[in-house]
């Protein structure tokens, strides 16, 4: 498989998802790119704009097993990962796997549960395994966590800690659909939900092949230096208390590789880096309290950094 084949297959997935998620082509493309890059996705938006529909549509189009976890204040870590249950008939402990043992896991309203339960996903997202009673258990491959949180309903929520946020490759919002798209939604869901009609266009083995192709996409030295200048800028910006981690740099590079492959290219361009940086970095930085009071946002800081860093010119292919 080569980048052209990846691009063709990715477009099939995008078209399948768009039968249920209308008018959000850029968002769907980014979701597919996150999967191909081996990352995880945080969707922050108001209720009812299609966050859950997007997660279900992606899993069905990819032909992957889907599990949903509804995060609530009384949820326990074992409700996510599973636990060992004593079988009285055999006299032995048996592993009862939790809902995290799926290829696409929807962590719905993740900020409505306690930090202790949120932390149950840390090992899953970083190492693709869970430890139950001291025994490591491998998770399926590929593995994608799509977490959602409402950005206006703050009552009864627990903000995600920095360590959790840093494990999400990208954060995005869906926003309201335009009038034409909303009319199409009304027509499409009058009798049934379009997610139920989505047919898978690939499978887990082919997705793994696509992920391997993505990691082979070439990143020229000047493009790497451009990326590092942006990351360095987050650590030096006067309005930011905390800049991006090295994981953020890796996420930006891998997501840029996936985007390039989805365009049928064998190399990353600076434009890929520049376009993806806000989605990859804005949730990884912390604004100084005095700047936050003045209304300074993370997105604005990232944009300032992008405007200040020189974009390399030249040939970026091998």
pLDDT in tens, 277-310: 999 999 999 999 999 999 999 999 999 999 999 9
Residue % of the chain over a pLDDT of 70: 98
Instruction: Report if residue 92 sits inside a domain.
Output: yes
Residue 30: other Cβ atoms inside 10 A: 21
Say yes or no: 163 and 274 in one domain: no
pLDDT number for residue 310: 94
Mean pLDDT along residues 167-175:
91
In this structure, is residue 130 part of a structural domain?
A: yes
pLDDT at 246: 95
Instruction: Tell me the mean pLDDT in the region 31-39.
Output: 95
Tell me the average pLDDT across 84-90: 78
Mean per-residue pLDDT, 125-135 = 87
Single residue among 201, 229, 260 that ends a domain in this structure? 201
The yes-or-no verdict on residue 153 having pLDDT over 70 is no
Check whether residue 143 and residue 49 sit in a common domain.
yes
Does residue 266 carry a pLDDT above 90? yes
Q: Which domain holds residue 247?
A: 217-308
* Shared domain check, 71 and 164: yes
317 within domain boundaries: no
What's the CATH code of the domain at 42? 3.40.50.300
Q: Choose the most confident range, by mean pLDDT, from 44-48, 111-115, 228-232.
A: 228-232
- Strand runs (DSSP E) across the chain, as ranges? 41-44, 66-70, 82-87, 92-97, 104-108, 129-132, 135-138, 144-149, 170-172, 240-242, 286-287
Q: Which of 201, 228, 261 corresponds to the end of one domain?
A: 201
Based on the domain organization, do 155 and 57 belong to the same domain?
A: yes
CATH number, domain containing residue 224: 1.10.8.80
* List of residues 6+ apart from 307 with CB closer than 8 A: none
Q: Residue 156 pLDDT > 80, yes or no?
A: no
231 Rama class: left (phi>0) / alpha (psi -120 to 50) / beta: alpha
CA distance 112 to 50: 19
Condensed to tens digits (0 to 9), the pLDDT of residues 181-224 reads: 888 888 888 777 888 889 999 999 999 999 999 999 999 999 99
Verify that 160 and 230 share a domain, yes or no: no
Residue pair 284/244 in contact by the 8 Å Cβ criterion: yes
Query: Which of 201, 225, 260 is the C-terminal boundary of a domain?
Result: 201
Question: Is 31 part of any domain?
Answer: yes
**Looking at the structure, do residues 30 and 147 belong to the same domain, yes or no?**
yes
Looking at the structure of the chain, the number of domains it has is 2
Same domain membership, residue 295 and residue 149: no
d(CA 157, CA 118): 12
In this prediction, residue 155 has a pLDDT band, given cuts at 50, 70 and 90, of low
Residues 165 and 271 in one domain: no
Residue 9 contacts residue 202 (beta carbons within 8 Å): yes
Give domain status of residue 313, yes or no. Answer: no
Q: What is the pLDDT of residue 220?
A: 95
103-108: average pLDDT: 93
| Mean pLDDT score across all residues of the chain | 90
pLDDT > 90? residue 100: yes
- Residues 153 and 80 grouped into a single domain: yes
Residues 192 and 294 in one domain: no
Q: Where is average pLDDT lowest: 31-40, 61-70, 175-184, 201-210?
A: 175-184
State the pLDDT at residue 262.
95
* Residue-level pLDDT at 218: 96
Least confident of 62-66, 82-86, 206-210, 228-232: 82-86
**Tokens matching residue 110:** 């993740």
Residue 111 domain flag:
yes
Q: Do 38 and 70 share a structural domain?
A: yes
141: DSSP letter: S
Check whether 95 has a pLDDT greater than 90. no
281 located within any domain: yes
Count Cβ atoms below 10 Å from residue 14 Cβ, excluding itself. 20
Instruction: For residue 90, tell me if it sits in a domain.
Output: yes
The fraction of the chain above a pLDDT of 90, given in percent, is 58
Same domain, yes or no: 78 and 173? yes
């Amino acid at each position: 498989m080569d980048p052209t084949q990846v691009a063709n297959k990715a477009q099939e997935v995008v078209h399948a998802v768009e039968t249920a998620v209308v008018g959000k082509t850029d968002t769907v493309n980014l979701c597919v790119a996150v999967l191909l890059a081996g990352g995880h996705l945080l969707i922050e938006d108001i209720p009812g704009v299609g966050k859950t529909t997007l997660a279900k549509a992606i899993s069905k189009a990819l032909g992957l097993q889907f599990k949903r976890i509804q995060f609530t204040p009384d949820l326990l870590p074992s409700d996510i990962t599973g636990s060992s249950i004593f079988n009285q008939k055999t006299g032995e402990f048996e592993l009862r796997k939790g809902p995290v043992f799926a290829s696409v896991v929807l962590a719905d309203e993740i900020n409505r549960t306690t930090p202790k339960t949120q932390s149950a996903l840390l090992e899953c997202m970083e190492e693709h395994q869970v430890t139950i009673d001291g025994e490591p258990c491998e998770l399926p491959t590929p593995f994608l966590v799509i977490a959602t949180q409402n950005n206006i309903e703050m009552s009864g929520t627990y903000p995600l800690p920095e360590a959790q946020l840093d494990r999400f490759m990208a954060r995005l919002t869906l926003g309201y659909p335009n009038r034409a798209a909303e009319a199409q939604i009304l027509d499409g869901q009058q009798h049934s939900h379009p997610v139920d009609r989505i047919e898978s266009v690939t499978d887990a083995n082919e997705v793994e092949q696509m992920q391997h192709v993505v990691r082979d996409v070439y990143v020229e030295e000047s493009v790497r230096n451009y990326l590092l200048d942006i990351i360095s800028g987050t650590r030096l910006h006067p309005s930011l208390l905390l800049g991006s981690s090295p994981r953020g740099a890796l996420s930006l590079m891998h997501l840029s590789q996936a985007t390039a492959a989805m365009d049928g290219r064998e190399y990353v361009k600076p434009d890929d880096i520049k376009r993806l940086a806000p989605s990859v970095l804005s949730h990884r930085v912390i604004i100084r309290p005095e700047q936050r009071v003045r209304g300074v946002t993370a997105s604005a800081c990232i944009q300032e950094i992008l405007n200040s860093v020189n974009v390399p010119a030249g040939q970026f292919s091998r």
